[in-house]
Amino acid sequence: MASNQPFYVDRALCVPPPDVLYFPQRRSIEERSSRMRPILFHADSLLRLLQRRTIATMEELKEALGTRVDMTVFRKLREIPYRASYSHRGKYYALSERAEFDANGLWTHRGVHFSKDGSLVDTAARIVRESERGVFSFELAPLLHVEVREPLLGLVRASRLAREEVASMYLYCSPIATRRRQQLAARQVTLIQEPFGLLHDPAASMTDEVRAANILFLSALDEKQRRLYAGLESMRIGRGGDRRIAEWTGLDVHTVARGRQELQGQELKLGRTRQAGAGRKSVEKKRPKSSGPSSS
């Protein structure tokens, strides 16, 4: 028989039991996660490889570590002081303790180049800022052994460097105005003391980039300036200078000799590119005769 008494529920008895009763696997998961996971990869493997070979590629590091994942290698590299090359697209790695940086903060091993600054961009920025007289791109490229024009332009766009036109070429300088003025003044003094002081011996071996830059500079001069400059450099070389400068500049050896003789004899005539009477004969411009109205 159904009871008409109201049905009461004791809420105290409805309190749910501990989570472990409802979720029996939660505790075991938490216990497992709190335990130290076994170390699958050891940085010692990378350390031994780099000590033995001095430099190694990412593929070689992955093989030594026993992984196919680049990020795993990077995580283990963080445990040891290392350097990445700025040449070869940064594909080589070395221990910091093995790097023997020179006065410019550079180190080369088996044709691979490293810098104390790390990247090529940071290296170029430092060298230009520290330079006493600014840096032309063709001066920096032989020093770093890589192409530098694009990195330098990027630094200028980012306002990390500035550039000024000097001798029809761009000189890269410090972005700080006072320092930049000092560099420009020092460069101007160099150009006055040595009109082409970028090369102590223009006929010496040079990179293709330096040769191209010098040819570009010569092309910006007029005929007289090229002749005199070639004569001056011939005098600086001494015996055989006419021939060597002719080979270097592409000028005729007699042109070089003439420039040298003009300087030695102080036969300069300011304001004229050619001597009087030299050059093409003037041609009188003839006007077409008018046929006039035709008679009928």
Residue 221 lies in domain: 203-268
75 with 127, same domain: the answer is: no
Q: Return the pLDDT at 107.
A: 97
Q: Return the pLDDT at 201.
A: 47
Q: What percent of the chain has pLDDT over 70?
A: 66
Mean pLDDT of 209-217: 64
Q: State pLDDT tens for residues 29-43.
A: 444 544 544 456 788
216 with 186, same domain: the answer is: no
Q: Return the pLDDT at 41.
A: 73
Among 193, 218, 234, the domain-final residue is: 193
Residue 296, pLDDT > 50, answer no
Domain contains 131: yes
CATH label of the domain that carries residue 86: 1.10.10
Among 141, 168, 193, the domain-final residue is: 193
In one-letter notation, the amino acid at residue 201 is D
Contact yes or no for 55/109 (Cβ under 8 A): yes
Q: Which long-range contacts (CB under 8 A, 24 or more apart) does 64-73 make?
A: 65/41, 66/41, 67/41, 72/41, 73/46
How many other C-beta atoms lie within 10 A of the C-beta of residue 222? Answer: 9
182 with 208, same domain: the answer is: no
Tell me the pLDDT band of 274, cut-offs 50, 70 and 90. Answer: low
Say which residue, 179 or 170, is predicted with more confidence: 179
Q: What percent of the chain has pLDDT over 90?
A: 43
Tell me the pLDDT band of 249, cut-offs 50, 70 and 90. Answer: confident
Q: Return the pLDDT at 7.
A: 47
Residue 282, pLDDT > 80, answer no
Contact yes or no for 164/171 (Cβ under 8 A): yes
**Average pLDDT value for the chain:** 78
Segment among 67-81, 161-175, 225-239 with least mean pLDDT: 225-239
Domain contains 144: yes
Name the phi and psi angles at 231, rounded to 5. Answer: -65, -40
Contact yes or no for 291/259 (Cβ under 8 A): no
Q: State pLDDT tens for residues 111-167.
A: 999 999 999 999 999 999 999 999 988 889 889 999 999 999 999 999 999 999 886
**Domains held by the chain: number:** 3
CATH label of the domain that carries residue 181: 1.10.10.10
- Please name the helix (run of DSSP H) or strand (run of DSSP E) that holds residue 256, with its range, or none: helix 253-264
d(CA 251, CA 245): 8
Q: How many Cα atoms sit within 13 Å of 277 on the Cβ side?
A: 0
Q: Return the pLDDT at 203.
A: 43
Q: Return the pLDDT at 64.
A: 92
Residue 56, pLDDT > 90, answer yes
Residue 295, pLDDT > 50, answer no
Q: Return the pLDDT at 58.
A: 95
208 with 155, same domain: the answer is: no
The winner for highest mean pLDDT among 133-142, 241-250, 287-296 is: 133-142
